[in-house]
A and B are shown apart, each in its own frame.
Chain A
Amino acid sequence: DAGVIQSPRHEVTEMGQEVTLRCKPISGHNSLFWYRQTMMRGLELLIYFNNNVPIDDSGMPEDRFSAKMPNASFSTLKIQPSEPRDSAVYFCATLPLAGGYNEQFFGPGTRLTVL
């Protein structure tokens, strides 16, 4: 398996533009998580899905952020409009169906810079 796949790996955009980050989970993993890494706040959970259904989006910072998981093999995190303070590394991670005591598998991350 190729592991968790994220695209793009790097994104540079201007304030006000829409940004879409993409994630392809490991096949058979039914839970998917979006995290954001910043120097100030460390690695923080934004939202997670079980079986394509959003379970907890309490970490989503504002209405400008939205996430979808239309099927078991694809998820997006969208920021519209983007702002400079959104600059961070965004990680997608997945978990097997059993969840619980299993480790999460992280993708390589998308480094977002908003100018």
Chain B
Amino acid sequence: ILNVEQSPQSLHVQEGDSTNFTCSFPSSNFYALHWYRWETAKSPEALFVMTLNGDEKKKGRISATLNTKEGYSYLYIKGSQPEDSATYLCAFTNSGYALNFGKGTSLLVTP
């Protein structure tokens, strides 16, 4: 089992605030790091698949960075909106197939 840690476990912000979460993973045998967004009663949906050290990816107000040498990734949300409320999962793989998920950061954005 490959240990993937996410922090904080939960977060409550006001609409318009910017926020960020952390994912740490083993720094050896890195293949890829995935970020998923999981809304209650829905399926997890992929946000980013990150593969190269120094990668920075962006989708709208959400962006992510990757440091494979030290084993961490940050997810940023700029100007949080209530519809951003969800659990954000990161997953590490050293094979390209089996994903090892963290327990997620639960984000609540209130108006």
Contact = CB atoms under 8 A, between A and B. Distances in A.
B62 interface: no
Contacts of A105: 46
Contacts of A12: none
B102 A101 contact: no
Given A42-B103, A43-B89, A103 B49 contact: yes
A31 B49 contact: no
B97 A99 contact: yes
Contacts of B49: 101-103
Contacts, number: 52
Contacts of B102: 42
A100 to B, nearest CB: 4
B43 A55 contact: no
A26 interface: no
A13 B8 CA distance: 35
A14 interface: no
Contacts of A42: 101-104
A38 to B, nearest CB: 10
B51 interface: yes
B99 A104 contact: yes
Interface string B9-41: 000000000000000000000011010000000
The 9 closest A-B pairs by CB, nearest first: A103-B46, A42-B103, A106-B43, A100-B96, A43-B101, A106-B44, A99-B96, A108-B43, A101-B51
